[in-house]
Amino acid sequence: MLSIRGERVVLAKDVTRVGVVGFGLMGSGIAHVVARVGIDVTVVEPTEDLLARGRERLDASTGRAVERGRELDRVVGPDAVFASNTSSIPIATLASATSRPDRVVGLHFFNPPPAMDLIEVTPSLMTSADTVSFARRFGERLGKTTVLAKDEAGFIVNRLLIPYLCAAIRLLDEGLATREDIDMSIALGLNHPMGPLRLADLIGLDTVLQIADVLFDEFREPAYAPPPRLRRMVAAGRLGRKSGAGFYDYG
């Protein structure tokens, strides 16, 4: 969760300090993006083991996010805006843990934050128009392009991306083509920077599984259901680049 201290009159240009709770892969990238535009960054990380890896971190983050929302409510000023980098936790759930639900919004950065130009801005039903306006201007101040999405699991990108990745895994399971040919077909046929299996390895198969589970739980559409191979690979510790092996080996 990102805590942005601003004025009651919401002006992104007046932000002088940003707090980032959690200094893992995304937290450190967001801190980098904020610091490079000259804004002071304060990082809070309660324990080292929370940064361990994989699904353990992701599962724990859901519960911690709400707990931290209650604690942050006490320690930050009344004019702070709370922004979460989640792509799966409902913003309304986070907002309900604070006394200022109108000042809670989703700011979903993409990995790696310094290189990726997009931020999905996601208000809950309780988020004020001023907070949404502030969030979009703040994103623009960071040199990013912002898009507005409803508070539904996956927002825009993951609602489209996860079924695509799952479909590629199913094609591999069905023996339609090799992993290399599946990836080459997309890279050359659709001009993507990389194919879906290499992309899943880059994202982290544990992350793909966690988001797929959230999407399937919310929408119950077969396209969101994680393929059995994905669940088995995560259980075996083949998480992609972060673990050294996924659909490909990264020795």
- Residue 108 annotated in active site: yes
- Encode the chain in three state secondary structure: CEEEECCCCCCHHHCCEEEEECCCHHHHHHHHHHHCCCCEEEEECCCHHHHCCHHHHHHHHHHHHHHHHHHHHHHCCCCEEEEECCCCCCHHHHHCCCCCHHHEEEEEECCCCCCCCEEEEEECCCCCHHHHHHHHHHHHHCCCEEEECCCCCCCCHHHHHHHHHHHHHHHHHCCCCCHHHHHHHHHHHCCCCCCHHHHHHHHCHHHHHHHHHHHHHHHCCHHHCCCHHHHHHHHCCCCEHHHCECCCECC
Catalytic position from the list 68, 100, 103, 108: 108
Instruction: Give catalytic residue positions.
Output: 108
